[in-house]
Structures are given as C-alpha cells and as structure tokens.
Structure 1
Amino acid sequence: MKKFFPVFALFMLASVASFGQELTWKILADVSWERKYNKEYDEHINYPKFGNIVKPFDKKEVIIKGYLLPVEVEGDYIVISAFPYQSCFYCGGAGVESVMEVYLKKKKTVKAMQIRVKGKLELNATDVNHLVYLLKDAEIVEEIN
C-alpha cells in the first residue's frame, strides 16, 4: 500500500495539470539546487532540479494566483510572486521558486496587486538569464484588489 499511494498521487497530479487546474506555490516549491559550472559566466551557479511533484505540470496549462511585482506592468511581460512585494525573494526570506515570469498573449495594463493567470507552464532548468518558472501564452483570469 505504501508504494501505491505515491504513484497514485503523481498520476492524479498529472491528470489535474492537463486540464489547466489551479497550481499552488507549494507545488512549485518542489525544487532543489545543484551547483554546476556555467561557461557563459565562467563560474559555478545553482541550477534547479525539479521534483516529482512539480514535473508533471511542465508544458501543461495551469492557473495560478500571485502578487504582481513592480517590474514591467504594461506590456506582455509581468512577474508574479507567491508573496507581496515586501516579502518577495529579493526582499526577504523567500526563494526564486516563489516567483514566475508571465508572458501574456495580449498586452495589458494590470492595476491589481494580486491576479490569477492561466497559461502553459515551463520548467526552466538551463537558462540562468530567466526565472525557473515561466508561464507562456498567458491570459489574466482575474484581477484581485
């Protein structure tokens, strides 16, 4: 029975991810880090190793709720976080797994502090010039004030 539950849980997560269901930041926290040499920067850099809980969501349509970070708020590129700006990874104790690059299908001015977005999740394990989570072909589902 012990071996059955994890396999069943992974199957259910993969099924949920394929329907564009709500993704949580807790699931996105299933990542560890390994130091590897990066030729471009001529130094060792931490690269993500995604766990078995988050892997089934790669290349799947998901919906996630996050706080808008003050980067580019007009246009087709935004960044969301699990935490409000005051608690984001570069301001406090959170990590880079708590933020996500979002590429919108259409340019939109976002005025809300918190939003729900829907799009195709990409797990980025190789490009150190981008965040580890990317949401492509995204659209804003809800603006929450």
Structure 2
Amino acid sequence: MKRVVVLFFLNVLFLGLLELKAQVKVHKDLRTKTWNIIGLRYDKELSPGKWGSVYPAPLKSLHNKVIELPGYMIPTKVGAKFTEFMFSIVPVESCPYCGTGDIPAMLQVKTSKSIAITDKPIKLKGKFIINDSGNDQSEFFLVDAVLILQ
C-alpha cells in the first residue's frame, strides 16, 4: 500500500512539473505612449441595442499620421514572409486567440516589401489609419509600413 501511495505522489509531482514546463513564458509587452493611445478605443451603446466604437480625441489625432511602433508579428496565414499581418504589443503565445493571456492592443499591417516572420520584437513605421466604416476588417491599420528595427 505504501508503494502505491509513493508512486501516486511521484506521478502527481512529475505531472505537475510537466505542466509547469508547458506553460507559456511570460513576455514583457512593448507598450509605448502611442500603443496606450491606440488602446483608448472603447465600445459604447450609441442607441438602444446599437453598439459602436468610440475614438477619443488623442486617438483621432493619430489618424493619417506616420507613427513608429514596436511590437510582435501575428501571422494571419501560413508563410515565411508577409506583406500583411497583425501587429501586437505581445507575442502570439500571449494572444488569447492563439495562446494565453488578455486581449492585447492590435492593428493590421500592410507593407509594400515583405517581412520575414519572426517571434522577436520588431519596430515598424507607417501611416496609422482608423477604419470606422463598420465593415468586418480591422479597426486600425498601419499602411505603407516599413521595418526599421529587427
């Protein structure tokens, strides 16, 4: 009986260690003042039963301006190089849709020159666009983006 109990506890300990190893590594997000402004967007009930996005003045002031942002590539399809991808303050492993974590600030990037996939932080420069058309596309874009730091 003692042997069974010891084996049981060893098994529990072993499985516990495996679970700890399997957890996602915590990453420091790349939050900047500009990312904080992008994060100001919120949803509000505009009329009974009709919800919409609200873009505070500091966020609206970024529309059509060239900005620089550090962040992580979040691919939306399979490939090694991309001209379109999502961009976030946290890596894909920390994304609630792809791994674990809270919903991060994100925007869609469009480049003219493809960028090789990386899980390391990069820095992009491009024109920030607010898409308030209500269609199914992203709300925020960084267009004509170029890689300025890898």
Normalising by structure 2, we get a TM-score of 0.64
Q: 1:45 to 1:110 in 2, by over 3 A?
A: farther
Gap regions ≥5 residues in structure 1:
1-21, 38-43
Q: 1:55 to 1:109 in 2, by over 3 A?
A: same
2:38 aligned partner: 28
Q: Distance in 1 between matches of 2:66 and 2:34?
A: 13
Instruction: Give the share of equivalent positions with the same residue, in percent.
Output: 21
Q: What code does the residue aligned with 2:130 have?
A: L
Matched length: 114
Q: Distance in 1 between matches of 2:121 and 2:44?
A: 32
Note the aligned Cα RMSD (angstroms).
2.5
Q: CA deviation at 1:52?
A: 1.2
Q: 2:104 matched to 1:92? A: no
Aligned counterpart for 2:75 among listed residues 60, 65, 70:
70
1:104 aligned partner: 111
Q: What code does the residue aligned with 1:57 have?
A: L
Q: Distance in 2 between matches of 1:51 and 1:87?
A: 27
1:17 aligned partner: none
Counterpart contact for 1:89–1:99, Cα < 8 Å: no
1:113 aligned partner: 120
Q: CA deviation at 1:35?
A: 5.0
Q: What code does the residue aligned with 2:40 have?
A: D
Q: What code does the residue aligned with 1:54 have?
A: L
Q: Distance in 2 between matches of 1:89 and 1:35?
A: 25
SS at match of 2:149: strand
Gap regions ≥5 residues in structure 2:
1-31
Runs of 4+ deviating beyond 4 Å:
none
Counterpart contact for 1:117–1:142, Cα < 8 Å: yes
1:140 aligned partner: 147
Counterpart contact for 2:73–2:118, Cα < 8 Å: no
2:53 aligned partner: 48
